[in-house]
Amino acid sequence: MIVLFFTLLLAVIAAGLSYVALRRGKSTFAKALADARGQFMHLLPRLTIGILGSGFIAHLMPKETVLTWFGPNSGLAGTALATLAGALTPGGPVVGYALGAAALKAGADFSQVIAYVTAWSLLTFNRMLTWEMPSMPGRLVILRAIVSLPLPFLAAWVTQLLR
């Protein structure tokens, strides 16, 4: 139900933005529509590949390995591995959340999945290299990464406390 709500909310926002663009002139609307179509065509193959790939990974993940490396008894080493895996996972939510959900199904502990998702959200190397470094000073990006590094461990620890 919540997915439907946010989908409808995004549709209303898009319609509102379309209306504003049209009010500014037909050429503004046409340019905005052409830009949107270009972005859609650019993202469509990536989304398709990401959805298919994450679906296969979810069913091919070896349960014994996941349980050993990321299970309830993996401790700090499991949290460190989950953090590293999160930082190394490229892609958007289709990939990151699908891998987290697949790991849970394969026996990963909540705290390790929380560490993975937190690291994926904050420390993804791919995002740092392709988006942050080109658009912000390198010193700022490095400082942000250093400041964010303890957060997956903190999130895993708080998850352990809240059980």
Instruction: Average the pLDDT over 76-98 and give the result.
Output: 91
Instruction: Average the pLDDT over 33-50 and give the result.
Output: 86
The CA angle 113-100-56, to the nearest 5 degrees, is 150
CB atoms inside a 10 Å sphere around CB 145: 16
Q: What is the DSSP code (8-state) at residue 131?
A: I
pLDDT-derived band at 57 (thresholds 50, 70, 90) equals confident
- Is residue 154's pLDDT more than 90? yes
- Confidence (pLDDT) at 10: 92
Residue 34: strand, helix, or coil: helix
- Confidence (pLDDT) at 60: 84
Q: How far apart are CA 82 and CA 153, in angstroms?
A: 10
* Rg, Å, the chain Cα set: 20
CB atoms inside a 10 Å sphere around CB 29: 16
- pLDDT tens profile 61-78: 888 899 899 999 999 999
Q: How far apart are CA 155 and CA 140, in angstroms?
A: 23
Q: How far apart are CA 147 and CA 18, in angstroms?
A: 40
User: Whose structure tokens read 């997956």?
Assistant: 152
Q: How far apart are CA 78 and CA 152, in angstroms?
A: 12
- pLDDT tens profile 105-115: 889 999 999 99
Residue 114: strand, helix, or coil: helix
- Is residue 50's pLDDT more than 80? no
Instruction: Average the pLDDT over 21-47 and give the result.
Output: 91
pTM check: above 0.85 = no
Average pLDDT, the chain: 91
- Confidence (pLDDT) at 56: 81
Q: How far apart are CA 33 and CA 17, in angstroms?
A: 11
Domain ranges of the chain: 1-60, 62-163
